[in-house]
Chain A
């Protein structure tokens, strides 16, 4: 039972490097490429795979806060810079905080379904290293309700998820959960080490378990998380083409080099309200419920997941929201190795937000690129072996504190 009136495919994915601390070429004191550099590289990287810009009908770009990080809005205007043949074609910018990339995908999917386009160039970008983290925290806080900023932590979002972790620890036990979080961190870095564009690709730390179990220091950071529980500050862009059957024909791309969108769900929660149960990601739960129901499958048939692990605790709570583990059992599920790259359902196989990086507005698109790579056998050293009984890929992209969620199921 599909919710799609037409077949929709993704192909031609491209990721720039996720640049930031951890990458050897990153030097905070030296000038770095501007946002246009990332847009151009990702855009051209995708166009080169789909026969050029002349095949594109429409463009979508997702970004969260370029207006503050880069003093730049009106981002759709960058498409003609990528390629002169995109000039005068329709282009739209979408924003849903860290879920912006997911919105770019659903906007592109809608254009295909509406038959207003056969090929949509979809691109996400964020360049955040323009300000120090302490000021970046102010900018990112815009993903929450402005009226809650004053009472929030200096590091606003780590503060929000630290509060969630605190409630979760209280409810389900601190030790086991922190062990699960540390394992999540280790897997993220180990997966990132297989992917040359990942921010943690150069990570050589020998003892990730010990790092992951570092005790939080509330005086300098938040109560229940350490920096190892957090995704980093990243500059990067990802692009992918969303196409119809006609689009596949036009671009000359064989079906096996594309993934099909089987179902999608886009869910919104009230940004002015605190979570009803901080120990649960209920909007993700609803989005995954919808996408699985629309696809007419069960989670047992999903072979790999890209989930929104902006924090390790969000990774663990995401596992539970997908119904893979009972509430409170997500940490054990991770510790049992089920989410590892050789586990029953590998998660975040290029490192996710913690390992690959989290250029906010690009993340949702990056997730789709990773799923496309895995399902079409082009993930390089990151390639996992998919169980034929589990042919589906799932991506879950979250904006804000469980506010804007996009879940997509691919095959």
Chain B
């Protein structure tokens, strides 16, 4: 598979301001600039590849950095370190402000969570879909109207609804507007940030099937961010599991969910409710994740919550190691591998 997006060693650190108050403010004032402040490691040394036509899932709990990573990839924010290659072009070097007017802006588009809140409430569905076309394709007048009509038809949005405002649309219709405006400029990579989180199951099914169909029709690649593992399992070819800024496991979706190797993935899979099973005695995570502010680089990020947690986890950060098609960052991954 030819790679479409090649992300290498991307990091995003935020300076931690230290909150309000005179003391914190004084410390900030005399710290000598943001470079000397403690840092939140939101995304820490993340590398992966998305192939052409591939659907990659990104899962992890809230606060693990998936949204920051996604915003960095879509070039809405700047990365602190690393490279993002789209085809042959390096995108990370340009600042996000400059990239907003770049010719490759149209190639990566994003569908945000809950279009009811991410679409300008004073834009009708038509204007919401037309906006990227005006800015990136410079379409005007008749050509614009035709294109909007074509795209909304592709997304199953009746043309009569185009004059409505977001609050006049149902959840499913809003999701369609969100998708329509993202695919209007024919991107190569569509980043979907929990597109079905606000929807009922029956509507969710329709939207997921729509996404599947659009992907086949236009040959787009998807990066699908979700916390619903049963949806990721159905939609994605490959899955990345993130924990506190790091990718802890990746591999073919079916395999990762059938036989998770990292203890965090195991807990994640165990936590998914199944219709025909009782809750029973399953693996549960206790406690809260460790602080992402200047974490010790020699301690596994999962240490403290990990049911295994040996001495070696406190002295060496496990690297992402390869096992066939899969990558796992755990010292004890071998124990869960099937014996060959």
B and A form one assembly: no
Residues of A participating in the B interface, judged by any CB pair closer than 8 Å? none
On B, residues with C-beta under 8 Å from A are none
